Structure 1
Amino acid sequence: MPSEKLSPGMQQYLDVKKEYPDAFLLFRMGDFYELFYDDAVEAAQILEISLTSRNKNADQPIPMAGVPYHSAQQYIDILVERGHKVAIAEQMEDPKQAVGVVKREVVQVITPGTVVDSAKPDSANNFLVAVDSDGTSFGLSYMDLSTGEFYATVLGDFFSVRSEIMNLKAREVVIGYSLSEEDAHILTGQMNLLLSQEQTRLEAPHLIDGSLSPLEISAAEKLLQYVQQTQKRELSHLQPLIHYEFKNYLQMSYTSKTSLDLLENARTGKKHGSLYWLLDKTKTAMGMRLLRSWIDRPLVNPQRILERQNIIQVFLDSFFERSDLTDSLKGVYDIERLVSRVSFGKANPKDLLQLGHTLAQVPLIKTILGNFQASELDKIIEQLDTLPELESLIRSAVDPDAAAVITEGNIIRTGFDEKLDNYRRVIREGTGWIADIESKEREASGITNLKIDYNRKDGYYFHVTNSNLSLVPDHFFRKATLKNSERFGTAELAKIEGEMLEAREESANLEYEIFMRIRRQVEGYISRLQNLAKAIATVDVLQSLAAVAENNHYIRPHFNNKQKIAVENGRHAVIETVMGAQEYIPNSISLDEETHIQLITGPNMSGKSTYMRQLALTVIMAQMGSFVAADQAELPIFDAIYTRIGAADDLISGQSTFMVEMMEANQALKSATANSLILFDELGRGTATYDGMALAQSIIEYIHNNIGAKTMFATHYHELTELANELSHLVNVHVTTLEKNGEVTFLHKIADGPADKSYGIHVAKIAGLPDALLERADSILSNLEADAAHIPLSEIGASASPASPAQSEQLSLFAEESAHQAVIQKLKSLDAVNLTPLEALNALFELQNLL
């Protein structure tokens, strides 16, 4: 609409909107936040609110929608949850005193990555990520505005950037370089992230160490600039930037963590059924977040692992002290998020009361830890800063019954401020004073029905009817005349009235000023409070791990530098808890220094995947410092875990199950070292039998000959078990079954040697397929097995067997048809032992072309 046709208020709206074109602009107008034009149309649909219009009688009415300012947070949450930005424009002056249009400014932009004041508080972190690049490497920095955590690292490729963003469960990424269309599509289309551009850097030497790499500094400074632009305030709770490297932790891709159900159940997306669910006996929100972090990033430093184990052992050895400690932690609130509210200027009296209550618990926690009389706890005890002066300030200043609102009074304790106490005395005693004046003047004047009333216009006054006007004393002065009466005042009444009105008006203002002063004093303790929060969180996580170890009879694992795995009667910790310890069947796992690969065969549903996941969870729990589900456990320190467990298409990116398999296998083969753990489940099943078998064998051989990582490889390709005769570091194991009278029972027990068959038809029977179908499948299987028996493996290759009579006939022609001699020569020339997976694929492609 042409600007000359707009009201000054709408022109102001459009001027502000120009600065925030990618955000919903909530424009404060009185008691409502209003939205206009396209914002109103879209918001009305998303929020399910009424869409109306401004200037309804105009040729082009302006679409309008609004939400009440006092309940706006719930609407903001919905918009942000949908991945939108919301700009809040407030009235910056009192409309009653404004000359012309009320001045309005955007005071904050709330985005998916900067939410700190949600109506749905959650203990999990909300990380905002920034990425920068110099064309070859990537700098990645992230922070949680609600806790002040601030980190940065350097990554070598975009795949690692994508994986780290997924690990952090970020919803918004700040891009500091020219992002390609392909990469932008991955981040927005496939990962559903909100992208925000930021090219300007904000230098902050008090937060960012200049010795960090240029890419880290650039990403961190652009992240800070974006945060300052959106939050529009100094954030004193941001912690100094911490550099981290993947090599300092047990490396796992997002896919691996998902397949192992570390932080949530992959099937349901819920906490229940995850390792986090199992280990979470924490009592504080800070402890819950730290536990998630420990699970997400297990350690590789033996000394740090040992320190955690030692403290867990101390807690296990002292049940009664640990019980007291657990009880004391129940009174601890979320210090990290309380101080962020202080920094944002949003802390209310209840926040400070929670902080004060927490500080009052710290001396008790410190005393209980001292009662353990263990040197292992000395470091943590030193970090428990009791801050007695801050606790005393809050206790003496804030009324324990204070409401959350800071502008209506009754939030400061009586006795804290003399002037405030005087105001309260006047308010409290003023009613009595007025009653005394009324009684005194009634008796002195002889007006028996004389009384004092109050209204907003005249204030306090004596009400005298016309029949008593002759009795009015001389010191009364007229305030108003009515038809049947008059209103009078006195100097004494006016004085009391003035004191009471002043007390009422000024006491609330004074309380607000006092509270602001106290909040600024609390802000000076933010750094010490954050350090205290870390110490309490650490104590909380360690007591939680001790409680879980005791309840589930876990044992302390030991580590070696001999690449030896020896787990006696190990269990899948989560499944055992869900099923019940009595029903779960444990399995021992043994790979000595000379055994690198276990080739696992056995039927579906027999427990191959559980067996593999059991080892992965045992390793993760051990390296995060936890005790593990086993009778005994000796492990090496692994640097990474690579998995391919479970089959699934990546529909969003248009990748088939087999392509996903190959990409994940490729990542493992490129990155794994001799100190890694590789878990491959049914690799190669997503393609034709011979293709899959050839790839599976070549991958096993490549790991065996070139990597030497501890590997579990589960497969249905029984022909692969013959590799144990050729590969010295590979052994066969299988899941045992009991077959009697045609019925099969899966024993879920691992034994040495290969399985005799797959029992796939028996699994189909358990699934309830029709009997006629199962009989036909048995008949077909018998024919296939009979045909296969006539073809020597030497002609087919140890890694392949016929899948059908037609394929058998085709293979028999190799020796008879001269036209196929080229294929035979090509097969003979292949060095199958040393082929990489990619070379194997190329060879198969050439053979297909020759055929």
Structure 2
Amino acid sequence: SLKVLPILKETLSSCQSTLLLKLKNNLDTLEDIHDLIEVSIHNNPPVSVKDGGIIKKGYNEELDELRLISKEGKNLIASLEDKERQETGIKSLRIGFNRVFGYYIEVTKSNLSLVPDRYTRKQTLVNCERYITAELKEFETKILGAEEKIKLLEYDLFTLIREKISSHIERIQKTAKILAKLDVLASFAEVSYMNNYIKPKITNNDEIIIKNSRHPVVELVLEEELFVPNDIHLDCNENQMVIITGPNMAGKSTYMRQVALIVLMAQIGCFVPADSAEISIVDRIFTRIGASDDLAAGDSTFMVEMKEVSLILREATKRSLIILDEVGRGTSTYDGLSIAWAVIEYIHNHIGAKTLFATHYHELTQLEGKLQRVKNYCISVKEKDNNIIFLRKIIKGGADRSYGIHVASLAGLPKKVIKRAGEIMESLKNVETAASSNVSDRISINNNPKQDKTVKNKQLELYNYVEQNVLNEIKALDIMTMSPIEALNFLYKIKKKIDNIEG
């Protein structure tokens, strides 16, 4: 990596960008550190620094000698033997080895008169004498301990090199930061060029206006269809909250994610996947997307969802971007609808943050016109021959169906199940038509941010809506087939529901 720093700095010299030229001027090429590493450390050292094989040949004379001894120990002994024969004139002199004495010089008794004074007698045998010399013992020590010494010396040398380099840690860190910035900028440039991104206009006017936005990941992985781009307009005046309805699998979550990603990409300095983009700076992006539980903490999917929503409502500001996907789906219909409704009111009245809110509670679409800054959008679909085609296009207005049974059919559920589901759905529609014709007319809309907390119970009065369902339960009851205990249990359940309605 250090080797290319001079080339990189030279390349940056030809740039016209003020930022790139500033990075070039501050870039330390660390050539002295590169040279030290180049002459001392092997290109492919072992994983462990204590196993040897780290230091290059030629860096340390003692290490080179130890390696030579370890590799050519027998040759060195043979050379020493020839040397001793020539110096003493003893032609039969030989060097041997045993585990008791180590290396020794053996001289026959007929040649004892030629033994020099520097020889030290070690052992006397019948036909010969065995001697040692200081040079021989030095060779013995080097040969026998060479491998272990090599490892110890290499580690010591490595430690010294490491300490030398660490004394320049501030220079290295400064260079690393500059390289990190260049890496990010190069990645931004490459992905923007390869995928036809555009330069966003960054503002501070609390508006997000994006034309033909695309998801930066999904558009690259689609194989059998083209990605359908969509517009988005959010502000803090008339388009603060967008409620998005539409079928499952139609693209609601993808649309919301791409808006959040584009805002994030623009704010970190990257071009964005769109035809044009005017994006106001946000202080934070909050998301509540997907379903997950936390078994370790003992939290259900719904509890995790509520904790995340709670955090958003506590921490979000008017400058935030909030993405909420099907809040309330983890509990009963009435509870979920009530929570979703209250969350929308709270964000609208008390926070004022730009918000995308996807839901299957079509009753929420009635909030447009009742809450000033709420707008309805939906994913368009086309019905053909009892089937649906997802057009993936965001259009104004609310959806009145979720097409869940159609999606279940696409997923491969048995035809009998699909048919029966259709029959049950029609029955449920007939029961609920009268009760749900216009829910918002039966709910007291809280459109006053300064409203006193004492009226909070009137904010979600679903009395008539729920009361109708209680009456439907009673009408459907067959009292002639009930046992006394079943009648009491049913009466207790109905009483509890009525108590909940009345608060």
Bin of the TM-score, shorter chain as denominator length: 0.7 to 0.9
Residues 380-406 of structure 1, C-alpha deviations (whole Å, 9 max, x = no match): 223322233333334444566876555
The correspondence for 1:437, drawn from 83, 93, 99, is 83
Q: Which residue in 1 is equivalent to 2:493?
A: none
The correspondence for 1:601, drawn from 227, 245, 248, is 245
Q: Which residue in 2 is equivalent to 1:391?
A: 34
Q: Distance in 2 between matches of 1:804 and 1:783?
A: 19
Q: Distance in 1 between matches of 2:51 and 2:173?
A: 28
The correspondence for 2:110, drawn from 462, 470, 476, is 470
Shift of 1:769: 2.6
Q: Which residue in 2 is equivalent to 1:497?
A: 136
Shift of 1:511: 5.8
2:41–2:54 CA contact under 8 A, matched in 1: no
Shift of 1:474: 3.0
The correspondence for 1:642, drawn from 283, 286, 290, is 286
Q: CA-atom RMSD, angstroms?
A: 3.7
Q: Which residue in 2 is equivalent to 1:702?
A: 346
Q: Distance in 2 between matches of 1:389 and 1:607?
A: 56
Q: CA 1:398–1:611 in structure 2 vs 1: closer, same or farther (change >3 Å)?
A: closer
Other structure's SS at 2:233 match? strand
Q: Which residue in 2 is equivalent to 1:586?
A: 229
Q: How many residues align?
A: 452
Q: Which residue in 2 is equivalent to 1:720?
A: 364
Q: CA 1:846–1:413 in structure 2 vs 1: closer, same or farther (change >3 Å)?
A: farther
Q: CA 1:774–1:519 in structure 2 vs 1: closer, same or farther (change >3 Å)?
A: closer
Q: Which amino acid aligns with 1:699?
A: V
- Are residue 522 (structure 1) and residue 165 (structure 2) matched? yes
Q: Distance in 2 between matches of 1:653 and 1:406?
A: 44
Q: Distance in 1 between matches of 2:389 and 2:343?
A: 32
- Are residue 731 (structure 1) and residue 375 (structure 2) matched? yes
Q: Which residue in 2 is equivalent to 1:186?
A: none
Shift of 1:692: 2.5
1:733–1:753 CA contact under 8 A, matched in 2: yes
Which range moved further: 765-774 or 707-716? 765-774
1:412–1:511 CA contact under 8 A, matched in 2: no
Q: Which amino acid aligns with 1:793?
A: N
1:796–1:811 CA contact under 8 A, matched in 2: no
Q: Distance in 1 between matches of 2:288 and 2:104?
A: 86
Shift of 1:369: 2.0
Q: Which amino acid aligns with 1:520?
A: E
Residues 549-605 of structure 1, C-alpha deviations (whole Å, 9 max, x = no match): 222222222212222222222122222223249532222222355210111111111
- Are residue 769 (structure 1) and residue 413 (structure 2) matched? yes
Other structure's SS at 1:652 match? coil
1:438–1:452 CA contact under 8 A, matched in 2: no
Other structure's SS at 1:725 match? coil
Residues 470-509 of structure 1, C-alpha deviations (whole Å, 9 max, x = no match): 23443255432345544245xxxx2532553565669746
Note the 1:652-731 alignment, pairs <5 A.
Answer: 652-731=296-375
Residues 131-163 of structure 1, C-alpha deviations (whole Å, 9 max, x = no match): xxxxxxxxxxxxxxxxxxxxxxxxxxxxxxxxx
Shift of 1:725: 2.1
Shift of 1:637: 0.8
Q: Which residue in 2 is equivalent to 1:619?
A: 263
Q: Distance in 1 between matches of 2:52 and 2:385?
A: 82
- Are residue 850 (structure 1) and residue 502 (structure 2) matched? yes
- Are residue 610 (structure 1) and residue 254 (structure 2) matched? yes
Q: Which amino acid aligns with 1:715?
A: T
Q: Which residue in 2 is equivalent to 1:361?
A: 4
Shift of 1:512: 5.5
Other structure's SS at 1:734 match? strand
Based on CA coordinates, which of the two structures has the bigger radius of gyration? 2
1:784–1:805 CA contact under 8 A, matched in 2: no
Q: Distance in 2 between matches of 1:400 and 1:671?
A: 51
Other structure's SS at 1:750 match? strand
Q: Distance in 1 between matches of 2:359 and 2:335?
A: 14
Q: Distance in 1 between matches of 2:292 and 2:67?
A: 69
Q: Which residue in 2 is equivalent to 1:572?
A: 215
Q: CA 1:437–1:619 in structure 2 vs 1: closer, same or farther (change >3 Å)?
A: same
Q: CA 1:845–1:365 in structure 2 vs 1: closer, same or farther (change >3 Å)?
A: farther
Q: Which amino acid aligns with 1:497?
A: L
Note the 1:723-762 alignment, pairs <5 A.
Answer: 723-762=367-406
Q: Distance in 1 between matches of 2:431 and 2:66?
A: 102
2:363–2:439 CA contact under 8 A, matched in 1: no
Q: CA 1:849–1:421 in structure 2 vs 1: closer, same or farther (change >3 Å)?
A: closer
2:81–2:93 CA contact under 8 A, matched in 1: no
Q: Which residue in 1 is equivalent to 2:438?
A: 793
Q: Which amino acid aligns with 1:388?
A: E
Q: CA 1:401–1:495 in structure 2 vs 1: closer, same or farther (change >3 Å)?
A: farther
1:412–1:515 CA contact under 8 A, matched in 2: no
Q: Distance in 1 between matches of 2:65 and 2:298?
A: 74
Other structure's SS at 2:217 match? helix
Q: Which amino acid aligns with 1:779?
A: E
Residues 180-215 of structure 1, C-alpha deviations (whole Å, 9 max, x = no match): xxxxxxxxxxxxxxxxxxxxxxxxxxxxxxxxxxxx
- Name structure 1 gaps, 5 residues minimum: 1-331, 333-357, 813-843
Q: Which amino acid aligns with 2:301?
A: T
Shift of 1:753: 1.0
Note the 1:808-819 alignment, pairs <5 A.
Answer: 809=472
Shift of 1:535: 1.8
Q: Distance in 2 between matches of 1:408 and 1:663?
A: 54
Other structure's SS at 1:618 match? helix
Other structure's SS at 1:378 match? helix
Q: CA 1:547–1:482 in structure 2 vs 1: closer, same or farther (change >3 Å)?
A: farther
Q: Distance in 1 between matches of 2:153 and 2:418?
A: 85
- Are residue 452 (structure 1) and residue 98 (structure 2) matched? no
Q: Which amino acid aligns with 1:545?
A: F
Shift of 1:735: 0.7
- Name structure 2 gaps, 5 residues minimum: 444-459, 476-495
Q: Distance in 1 between matches of 2:408 and 2:64?
A: 82
Residues 711-743 of structure 1, C-alpha deviations (whole Å, 9 max, x = no match): 111112222212112222111111111111211
Q: Distance in 2 between matches of 1:787 and 1:776?
A: 17
Calculate the TM-score normalised by the size of structure 2. 0.77
Q: CA 1:808–1:619 in structure 2 vs 1: closer, same or farther (change >3 Å)?
A: farther
1:398–1:411 CA contact under 8 A, matched in 2: yes
Q: Which amino acid aligns with 2:438?
A: L
Structure possessing the higher relative contact order (Cα contacts under 8 Å, 6 or more residues apart): 2
1:424–1:503 CA contact under 8 A, matched in 2: no
Other structure's SS at 2:179 match? helix
2:198–2:273 CA contact under 8 A, matched in 1: yes
Other structure's SS at 2:368 match? helix
Q: Distance in 1 between matches of 2:335 and 2:186?
A: 51
Aligned residues with identical type, % of pairs = 41
Q: CA 1:419–1:719 in structure 2 vs 1: closer, same or farther (change >3 Å)?
A: closer
Q: Distance in 2 between matches of 1:723 and 1:631?
A: 31
Q: Distance in 1 between matches of 2:104 and 2:164?
A: 44
Q: Which residue in 1 is equivalent to 2:273?
A: 629
Q: Which amino acid aligns with 1:613?
A: R
Residues 801-846 of structure 1, C-alpha deviations (whole Å, 9 max, x = no match): 968974464799xxxxxxxxxxxxxxxxxxxxxxxxxxxxxxx999
1:802–1:808 CA contact under 8 A, matched in 2: no
Other structure's SS at 2:400 match? coil
